[in-house]
Amino acid sequence: MKISQAVQDVLEVVPDHVTVVAAAKHRTPDEIETAIGAGIHHIGQNYVQEAEELRRAVKADAVWHLIGHLQQNKARRALACCDWIDSVDSLRLARRLDAIAAEMDRIFPVLVEINSGREANKTGFLPEKVDDAVRQIADLPHLKVEGVMTMGPRFGRPEDSRPYFVETRRVFERLGALQLSNVHMNILSMGMSNSYLVAIEEGANMVRLGTVLFGERPA
């Protein structure tokens, strides 16, 4: 299926209040520009180097998100090429981003990553420990917490993802109730190509879609 048609099909299904971030790992500039031309306004990249290269190559306007794990030594480069950091998964990273953003005299929107499955091989804050972390991030003046994100299983039955999404929505609501300054629970980012409809049912207003838009990645 052509990318433009796939984008249109997704946008017909996704409610208007839900932002679609095109997860464009290993995609070409032409593929990304086609998606933007079909109605995508947000592009997600997993890797800083790839984000740098594509941001230079893609001429169409879009908002660029860093959606993968960000190493601290690449934080400066990430802030230079991305508009959002969607995967703040530690206090050390948050402090590093804030220090660099201060040098740039900018305030960056970020999402706090929740390890909703409590998986040892995944990054992010555990649901029961994130409140204290967000209170500390709230004190960083050059970061603006706009919400939370979670990964959930990439494969398997879509329904298998629901417990992850329910857990993350509870965290999202709990953090919002804290009414912390500099923290705005506007974005609940969860759901990928195999699970985004379930995520939307559970309250997601941002989804990260790759395969359903672009097709399978080349080997």
Give the E-state strand segments of 48-136 in sequence order. 63-66, 84-88, 108-113
Which residue, 117, 65, 125, 46, is CA-closest to 89?
Answer: 125
pLDDT digits (tens, 9 = 90+) for 45-58: 999 999 999 999 99
Classify residue 217 by its DSSP letter.
P
**Rounded-to-integer distance, Cα 136 and Cα 141, Å:** 11
Bridge partners, 110 (sequence order) = 85, 145
Q: How confident is the model at residue 218 (pLDDT cuts 50, 70, 90)?
A: low
pLDDT digits (tens, 9 = 90+) for 75-118: 999 999 999 999 999 999 999 999 999 999 999 999 999 998 78
Please, what CATH class does the domain formed by 3-214 belong to? alpha beta
Amino acid residing at 68: G
Does residue 152 have a pLDDT over 90? no
Q: How confident is the model at residue 187 (pLDDT cuts 50, 70, 90)?
A: very high
Burial state string for 88-109 with b = 16 or more CB within 10 A and e = fewer than 16: bbbeebbbbbbebbeeeeeebb
Burial state string for 145-171 with b = 16 or more CB within 10 A and e = fewer than 16: bbbbbbbbeeeeebeebbebbebbbeb
Amino acid residing at 102: A
**Rounded-to-integer distance, Cα 160 and Cα 176, Å:** 26
Which of 92-96, 144-148, 161-165 shows the lowest per-residue confidence on average (mean pLDDT)?
161-165
Amino acid residing at 177: A
pLDDT score, position 119: 75
Q: What's the average model confidence in pLDDT over 168-179?
A: 96
Does residue 125 have a pLDDT over 90? yes
pLDDT digits (tens, 9 = 90+) for 8-27: 999 999 999 999 999 999 99
pLDDT score, position 219: 53
Does residue 155 have a pLDDT over 80? no
- Tell me the average pLDDT of the chain: 94
- Residues 6 or more apart whose CB falls under 8 angstroms from that of 97 comprise 75, 79, 85, 88, 108, 110, 140, 142, 143
pLDDT score, position 122: 80
- Residues 6 or more apart whose CB falls under 8 angstroms from that of 179 comprise none
Is there a contact between 13 and 38 (Cβ–Cβ < 8 Å)?
Answer: no
pLDDT score, position 154: 62
pLDDT score, position 153: 62
pLDDT score, position 123: 84
